[in-house]
């Protein structure tokens, strides 16, 4: 039954559509539901009494857990206020892994701390033997002087040649702020945010489900990274926008490995794939031997020389992914 939903955007109420999806058939679910903050959707009134909203959320959260495979995971994005309720619900049927804090400055709300992050709850269907891959992001550099922002002191030679493992605080991915770069949707997420989540929790060929697809961000990330998607959407206009964008998505690949790009640069890569693409780090003993022997091999930053020459990163995937009506295809720099 799941096959008829694969790589499609299904129009209709998410609860009705989810009821038709078989138990334990999806590898990863990502949900970015309405925030109940009176956002201006075209087919949904984003204003319910708190109790009614939470009861409604429990219905689709329970369904997400049901359709997820034993090795799968569930991610839910929202403001901290509602995530506390979501966690209480999910704790009854799934296993907490992380609260990912996505740095996203907001507006002052009066007598309170300045809201400065959205949260992404990360749960798994079972306590162990679930899919998870560590992900690396580029080392942060100053935009002006191009020096590293983090002071590694005397341990700079121990830096990974590409970047650091991501933590549960994400400050390197930013909101889509300008209307000219947005679709006609009040809560559009950046594609490379979803690509990072897809990379860390699934394999190529896996199934990713989003019950609130909107204009297609989750499905675009899944397709670009070689995964299948199932998108559920209530609004016909958003469905049309998503399908139009999905028709133009190409693979996001570097040297045969699926990666996430942003503005033409690698943004996220699985650590197991980075190990195949970048030179391994030298051990302390190896570094001492090289220094003692006066051997100039290595890159001067504590890394072994590359065993093979990699082709340049000449595929810039989704260069214009934030531009309105962009063409989401892989393009060579030479074209």
Mean residue pLDDT across the chain? 83
Residue with structure tokens 């860390």?
200
Of 183, 172, 196, 166, the C-alpha closest to 75 is: 196
Give tens-digit pLDDT for 245-277: 999 999 999 999 999 999 889 999 999 999 999
Please count the other Cβ atoms lying within 10 Å of the Cβ belonging to residue 278: 17
Assigned token pair, 278: 């970048």
Beta strands in the chain (DSSP E): 8-11, 26-31, 68-78, 95-103, 117-124, 135-138, 163-165, 169-170, 207-210, 228-233, 253-254, 257-258, 260-262, 265-270, 315-317, 330-332
**DSSP 3-state percent helix, strand, coil across the chain (nearest 5):** 30, 25, 45
Cα–Cα distances (Å) from 250 to 81, 140, 189, 222, 253, in that order, read 37, 28, 19, 11, 9
243 vs 9, 40, 74, 206, 222, CA distance in Å?
Answer: 7, 21, 24, 20, 14
- Tokens in use for 159? 């830096």
Tell me what pLDDT residue 326 has.
38
CATH of 2-131+167-247, one of 3.30.310.50, 3.40.50.150, 2.40.30.170, 3.10.129.10: 3.40.50.150
pLDDT for 189-233, tens place per residue?
A: 999 999 999 999 999 999 999 999 999 999 999 999 999 999 999
CA 101, CA 172: separation in Å to the nearest integer? 11
In tens, the pLDDT along 310-334 reads 544 433 333 333 333 333 333 333 4
Residues 6+ apart with CB under 8 A from 314: 332, 333, 334
Please answer whether residues 165 and 135 qualify as being in contact, where contact means their C-beta atoms are separated by less than 8 angstroms.
Answer: yes
| Tokens coding 4 | 């008829």
pTM (two decimals):
0.82
Asked whether the beta carbons of 102 and 120 are under 8 A apart, the reply is: yes
Instruction: Count the Cβ atoms, other than its own, within 10 Å of residue 310.
Output: 12
Listed in sequence order, the residues at least 6 apart from 83 whose beta carbon sits closer than 8 Å to its beta carbon are: 76, 99, 119, 121
Half-sphere exposure of 5 (CA within 13 A, CB side): 25
Q: How far is the C-alpha of 329 from the C-alpha of 96, rounded, in Å?
A: 36
Positive or negative CA dihedral for 157, 160, 163, 167? negative
Q: Looking up tokens 């689709």, which residue turns up?
A: 60
Distance CA 26, CA 71 (A): 10
The pLDDT assigned to 23 comes to 97
Q: What is the pLDDT of residues 11-52, one digit of tens each?
A: 999 999 999 999 999 999 999 999 887 566 566 666 788 999
Distance CA 29, CA 323 (A): 26
User: Which of the residue ranges 49-58, 130-139, 220-229, 300-309 would you say has the lowest mean pLDDT?
Assistant: 300-309
Using DSSP's 3-state secondary structure scheme, residue 85 falls into helix
Position 3 pLDDT exceeds 80: yes
Backbone torsions φ then ψ of 117, nearest 5 degrees: -155, 150
Q: Where in the chain is the domain with CATH 3.40.50.150?
A: 2-131+167-247
| Other C-beta atoms lying within 10 Å of the C-beta of residue 280 | 14
């Amino acid at each position: 039954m799941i096959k008829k939903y694969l790589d499609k955007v299904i129009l209709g109420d998410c609860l009705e559509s989810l009821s038709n999806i078989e138990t334990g058939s999806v590898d990863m679910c990502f949900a970015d539901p309405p925030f109940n903050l009176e956002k201006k959707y075209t087919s949904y009134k984003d204003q319910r009494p708190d109790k009614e909203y939470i009861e409604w959320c429990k219905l689709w959260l329970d369904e997400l857990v049901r359709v997820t495979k034993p090795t799968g995971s569930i991610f839910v994005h929202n403001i901290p206020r509602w995530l506390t309720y979501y966690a209480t619900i999910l704790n009854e049927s799934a296993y907490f892994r992380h609260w990912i804090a996505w740095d996203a400055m907001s507006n002052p709300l009066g007598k309170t701390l300045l809201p400065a992050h959205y949260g992404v709850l990360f749960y798994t269907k079972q306590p162990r033997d679930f899919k998870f891959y560590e992900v690396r992001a580029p080392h942060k550099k100053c935009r002006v002087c191009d020096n590293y922002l983090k002071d590694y002191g005397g341990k700079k030679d121990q830096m990974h040649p590409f970047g650091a493992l991501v933590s549960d605080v994400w400050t390197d991915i930013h909101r889509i702020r300008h209307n000219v770069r947005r679709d006609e949707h009040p809560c559009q997420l950046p594609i490379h945010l979803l690509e990072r989540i897809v990379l860390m929790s699934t394999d190529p060929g896996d199934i990713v489900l989003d019950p609130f697809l909107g204009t297609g961000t989750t499905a675009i990330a899944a397709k670009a990274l070689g995964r299948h998607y199932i998108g559920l959407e209530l609004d016909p206009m958003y469905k049309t926008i998503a399908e139009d964008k999905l028709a133009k998505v190409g693979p996001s690949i570097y040297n045969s490995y699926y990666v996430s790009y942003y503005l033409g640069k690698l943004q996220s890569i699985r650590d197991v794939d980075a190990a195949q693409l970048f030179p391994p780090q030298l051990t302390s003993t190896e570094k001492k031997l090289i220094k003692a022997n006066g051997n100039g091999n290595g890159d001067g930053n504590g890394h072994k020389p590359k065993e093979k020459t990699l082709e340049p990163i000449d595929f810039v995937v989704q260069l214009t992914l934030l531009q309105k009506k962009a063409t989401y295809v892989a393009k060579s720099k030479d074209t």
